[in-house]
Structure 1
Amino acid sequence: MTVELSYDLVTGSSGDSTVVLIGSLGSDRSMWDPQIPGLSGVADVIAVDLRGHGTSPVPQGPYSVADMAEDVLAVLDSLGRDRVHLVGLSLGGAIAQWIAVHRPARALTLTLLCTSARFGEPQAWLDRAAAVRADGTESLADVVLSRWFTPELISRDSELSARHRAMVSATSDEGYAASCEALSQWDNRADLGRVSVPTLVVAGEQDPATTPADMKIIADGIARSRFHVLPKAAHLANVEQAGRITALIVEMISGSLYDAGRQAAHDAGMATRRSVLGDAHVERSIARTTEFTAPFQDFITRTAWGDVWTREGLDHHTRRLLTLAILTAVGNQHELDMHIRAALRAGLDPNEMAEVFLHTAIYAGVPNSNSAFAMADVALKETLPTETVRSETS
């Protein structure tokens, strides 16, 4: 059963996308204050208090990462946000991973900060849960603070240290303990390969809780990922390296918007390409694609087919005739043969094709049109053997 989380929604200047900030064990949503101003310039921003944290309700434990993820999804459902950019730190990173694996349609991108696919041995978390239930979160506030920040930051910024120590102490004992039990069960290592969205993985160089080595496991397991290790940062790297983290997230979100546009053009282009050339031809082309030729195939699909051929100014019939005329004029016989056969399969009248070649002969030269007629004659015999058409030769 989901819990109705407390959250802040900051409407961004763009309004085209939404970024969701999911925080650490023992934190509240104010931990994201350094990021919200910068992120709101490119997206709407939602920062949540997890169950048992901040001002969200504190149900009796134990919890699971799946439970906590469903809480976050319920917030998104209530706000009508279908697909979002997920940003999670520590426990929040586990929740973000769960959503990307089990509810992949909800994620546009994934940014994982100082988290893990498995947070050590389960018994250590169960022991911590028992200790918190016995002695309260105040008893471990100093230890948590020493993991959150480097010693240098703690010594030079007493106000920041005191504020974050108070954040830990204010966390519900039961909420903290039950969340420890959730982490004791968490192991996403086998499912990292199921993450299919662009992913940014960021480690703090001096993080004792989720080390760069822990984060490298995530980066190696997710195919579409980039990996950064930030110097002079411990567990709450978003606070200690606020500017750098914000810039990386903005870059991730902005880059994905461009990628989304490219993907939309590619999808539209592929549909048009199949319509014009036929599924069989396109499947053969895809099968022949190599790592070396893939960028060119993507370029042609997005630009020629996804941009020009999809424009409303000319219908596909007219574009076919123009393509035949131009390829004839420039003598591009390989492409011309392909388009002749595609046009005939699509039902173009051979006599109309002949008129195109005759017209091209006047303005682009008889030899090129002669070659076009010869190719069309062969294609007609192979494609429409019962048809009788006129064939011109010089």
Structure 2
Amino acid sequence: MQFLLCDQRAIHYRAIGLDGARPVIVFINSLGTDFRIWNAVMDALGDGYAYVLHDKRGHGLSDTGNTPYSIDDHVDDLAALLDHLSVKQAIVWGLSVGGLIAQGLYARRPDLTRALILSNTAHKIGTAEMWSDRIGKIERDGIAPLVDGVMERWFTPAFRSLDNAAYLGARTMLARQDASGYAAACAAIRDADFTELARQIAVPTLCIAGDGDGSTPPELVGELAALIPDSRIAVIEDCGHIPCLEQPVAYAAAAEAFLKSLPEF
């Protein structure tokens, strides 16, 4: 296991193949998940890329620290990790809140960003009232009462089968999430609005949606794509909010078509 100390917090990360000879993909997780969600995508993409993964603060094996969080806090952690690893000009691939963090990283540290893949995300996700209500419920009752509703937004009905081990594993991953870290990340999403920033993105950008996404539906992802000059959009069929778990092969294929269009590394 690899850890980086950031302001007295341990950030759990994994770096694969950082030999300077391959393009680097930096994955940023969604709310309530850890970096294991990317395993099947990396398998599908293969060893032509190097990879950096991390558990954002309050998730997985990373410390929770002081709460609540802002997107800038998550950006600070990721920028410190990439500086530590001497990674520049990466392909930054963010899922859901990870997409907000990716947009924030581009705004603050364009030297770290060669291209963006903004997956199942938006320039602004949800309303302040919605997120504040969710935070209040978590503070009162914990995460367990929310799991079923979150699963309905994360996955299509076909995936949500008690005979599907991957679905059961995703339920367990969310249920075991640190409640204070989850609530703190909800506050970061609530307070983030990258509407104006999105118009200023000047690197190649792919926006990805799932056709059955109950959290950031294709229409919302399309609004983000419309804001970003010259961006592309791909919609994954039979897929909800977490395509790296539900449709990893199709998801990787959509991304790889974009990756192969980038200028030579």
TM over 0.5: yes
**Candidates 234, 237, 241, aligned match of 2:240:** 234
Check whether the contact 2:162–2:168 (CA below 8 A) recurs between aligned residues: no
Q: CA deviation at 1:102?
A: 2.5
Amino acid at match of 1:64: S
Are 1:162 and 2:171 an aligned pair? no
Provide the C-alpha distance between the structure 1 equivalents of 2:76 and 2:244, rounded to a whole number of angstroms.
Answer: 24
Count of matched residue positions in the alignment of Structure 1 and Structure 2: 259
Structure ranking higher in helix proportion = 1
Q: Secondary structure at the match of 1:197?
A: coil
Q: CA deviation at 1:156?
A: 6.8
Q: Which amino acid aligns with 2:206?
A: L
Cα 1:191–1:204 change in 2 (3 A) is same
Correspondent of 2:101 among 84, 95, 103: 95
Partner of 1:225: 231
How many angstroms does 1:242 deviate by?
0.8
Deviating beyond 6 angstroms after TM superposition, the runs of 4 or more aligned structure 1 residues are none
Q: Would the aligned equivalents of 1:13 and 1:42 in 2 still touch at CA under 8 Å?
A: no
Matched, 1:111 2:117: yes
Alignment of 1:242-253 (within 5 A): 242-253=248-259
Partner of 2:212: 206
Please give the alpha-carbon distance, in whole angstroms, between the structure 1 residues aligned to 2:46 and 2:111: 23
User: In the TM superposition, what is the alpha-carbon distance from 1:73 to its structure 2 partner?
Assistant: 1.0
SS in 2 for 1:100: helix
Distance (whole Å) between structure 2 residues aligned to residue 99 and residue 190 of structure 1: 15
Q: Is the 8 A contact 1:113 1:201 kept in 2?
A: yes
The match for 1:351 is: none
Tell me the CA shift for residue 195 of structure 1: 0.8
The CA distance in 2 between the partners of 1:28 and 1:207, in whole Å, is 19
Distance 1:135 1:156 in 2: 25
Q: How does 1:334-345 map to 2 (within 5 A)?
A: none
Counterpart pick for 1:45 among 32, 51, 62:
51
Q: Is the 8 A contact 2:156 2:239 kept in 1?
A: yes
Aligned equivalent of 1:33: 39
Partner SS state of residue 8, structure 1:
strand
The SS at the match of 1:256 is: coil
Alignment match of 1:22 (pick from 28, 34, 42): 28
Correspondence list, 1:124-135, <5 A: 124-135=130-141
TM-superposed deviation, 1:157: 4.3
Q: Distance in 2 between matches of 1:131 and 1:60?
A: 20
Q: Indicate the structure with greater strand content.
A: 2
Partner AA of 2:143 in structure 1: T
Matching residue of 1:265: none
Q: Which residue of 2 aligns with 1:171?
A: 177
Report the alpha carbon displacement of residue 12 of structure 1 after superposing the two structures with TM: 6.9
- Give the structure, 1 or 2, with the largest relative contact order (CA under 8 Å, sep 6 or more): 2
Amino acid at match of 2:257: E
> Is the Cα–Cα contact under 8 Å of residues 4 and 56 in structure 1 kept in the other structure?
yes
Match of 2:11 in 1: 5
Letter in 1 for 2:146: L
Greater shift, 124-133 or 22-31, is seen at 124-133
Report deviation, 1:163.
0.3
Distance 1:40 1:129 in 2: 38
Deviation digits for residues 62-106 of structure 1 (CA, Å, limit 9, x no counterpart): 100111011111111111112211001001011011112222221
**Residues 25 and 90 in structure 1, CA contact (< 8 A), matched pair in contact too:** yes
Q: Which structure 2 residue ranges, 5 or more long, are not aligned? A: 1-5
1:54 aligns with 2:36: no
2:189 is matched with which residue: 164, 183, 187? 183
Larger of the two Rg values belongs to structure: 1
Cα deviation digits, residues 307-362 of structure 1 (max 9, x gap)? xxxxxxxxxxxxxxxxxxxxxxxxxxxxxxxxxxxxxxxxxxxxxxxxxxxxxxxx
CA shift at 1:13, angstroms? 8.7
What one-letter code is carried by the residue in structure 1 that aligns with 2:117? T
Partners of 1:196 and 1:222 in 2: CA distance: 8
SS at match of 2:184: helix
Q: For 1:43 and 1:4, how far apart are their aligned partners in 2?
A: 26
Report the 3-state secondary structure (helix = DSSP H, G, I; strand = E; otherwise coil) of the residue aligned with 2:159: helix
| CA distance in 2 between partners of 1:196 and 1:137 (Å) | 38
Are the aligned partners of 2:234 and 2:254 in contact in 1 as well (CA < 8 Å)?
A: no
